[in-house]
Amino acid sequence: MDEAAPSNRRVAILTGGHGGLGRAIAARPERSGTTVIVFDVAAAQPADAKRRSYPVDVADERAVADGVAAVLADEGRIDILVNNAGVLGPVAPATDVSLEEWNRTIRTNLTGTFVCSKLIAPVMVKAGWGRIVNISSLQGKEGTELAGAYAVSKAGQIALAKVMAKELAKTGVTVNCIAPTVIDIGLIDGIDEIRKSDLLRRIPMQRFCQPAEVADMVAFVVSDACSYTTGATFDVSGGRATW
């Protein structure tokens, strides 16, 4: 199927949009006229007032389906999905992680990505154009120690993007990942100073990633300029990733 060019008014669903990274990601496409709608279990803050949002648990298929139906009823289309909702999970050796902690991390980070992608991709396929972006992590490529549940969930996002990219390759819908190193906002607040120092040491630029740097990469991947790349992982790593 040839890629169909949508109208100038695009509609994006951004999961986890009420966090610091989510707000940065949302602001970038809004400047070019895209309507960004947030799915998030967290309560909206004053900074989120201009953005329509739904209290959606991304791993709850019924809740996501209801949210998608509401967006389609209001907007008539969904062009972009950014799977950004996530939790840090336990910082501990894999053998010390409880099954409850493991399941919670996988449920939000990976199952949530699967559920949202599963329900929204058919809408894009029907339209003949779409962009799905999973906000993964460099830890999903490295298998970073003391981050077992998180790293596995993020590796799963990368694998899911590759699978769906192949399955949707002829539909006009692309599926890609972005793998940042540690971002200087949000989940970093749950990491102690010793762990932060260790993670910073691994980054050749010797600074953490800024939210706007991830947002800029997202803006490119969801644009018309990124039309022939699917199933890829775009690193935002300050030199930490070299393959």
pLDDT band at 100 (very low <50, low <70, confident <90, very high): very high
Average pLDDT over residues 216-239: 95
Which of 208, 110, 214 shows the shortest CA–CA distance to 163?
110
- Selecting among 150, 161, 230, 234, the annotated active-site residue is 150
Specify the pLDDT at position 201. Answer: 85
Angle, CA 111 vertex, CA 85 and CA 62 arms, to 5° = 90
Q: Does pTM top 0.85 for this prediction? A: yes
pLDDT band at 198 (very low <50, low <70, confident <90, very high): confident
Specify the pLDDT at position 152. Answer: 98
In this predicted structure, the answer to whether residue 7 has a pLDDT above a threshold of 60 is: no
> For 130-166, what is each residue's pLDDT tens digit?
999 999 999 999 998 999 999 999 999 999 999 999 9
Q: Tell me the β-bridge partners of 92.
A: 147
pLDDT band at 3 (very low <50, low <70, confident <90, very high): very low
**Residue percentage of the chain with pLDDT more than 70:** 94
Q: Phi/psi at 168 (nearest 5 deg)?
A: -110, 10
**Is 12:35 a contact under the CB 8 Å cutoff?**
yes
**Is 191:145 a contact under the CB 8 Å cutoff?**
no
pLDDT band at 187 (very low <50, low <70, confident <90, very high): low
Mean pLDDT computed over every residue of the chain: 92
Q: Phi/psi at 63 (nearest 5 deg)?
A: -65, -40
> Any idea what DSSP says for residue 57?
-
**Is 240:204 a contact under the CB 8 Å cutoff?**
yes
Instruction: Give the separation between CA 172 and CA 65, rounded to whole angstroms.
Output: 22
List the structure tokens of 134: 């999973």
Which of 47, 2, 32 shows the shortest CA–CA distance to 12?
32
> For 67-88, what is each residue's pLDDT tens digit?
999 999 999 999 999 999 999 9
Average pLDDT over residues 45-74: 95
pLDDT band at 189 (very low <50, low <70, confident <90, very high): low
Contacts of 8 (CB under 8 A, 6+ apart): 33
Specify the pLDDT at position 206. Answer: 86
In this predicted structure, the answer to whether residue 6 has a pLDDT above a threshold of 50 is: no
- Catalytic annotation present for 150: yes
Choose between 192 and 71: higher pLDDT.
71
One-letter amino acid identity for 207?
R
Specify the pLDDT at position 109. Answer: 98
Which of 60, 43, 208, 218 shows the shortest CA–CA distance to 136?
218
Any idea which residue has 């390759």 for tokens? Answer: 169
**Residue percentage of the chain with pLDDT more than 90:** 77
CATH number of 11-236: 3.40.50.720
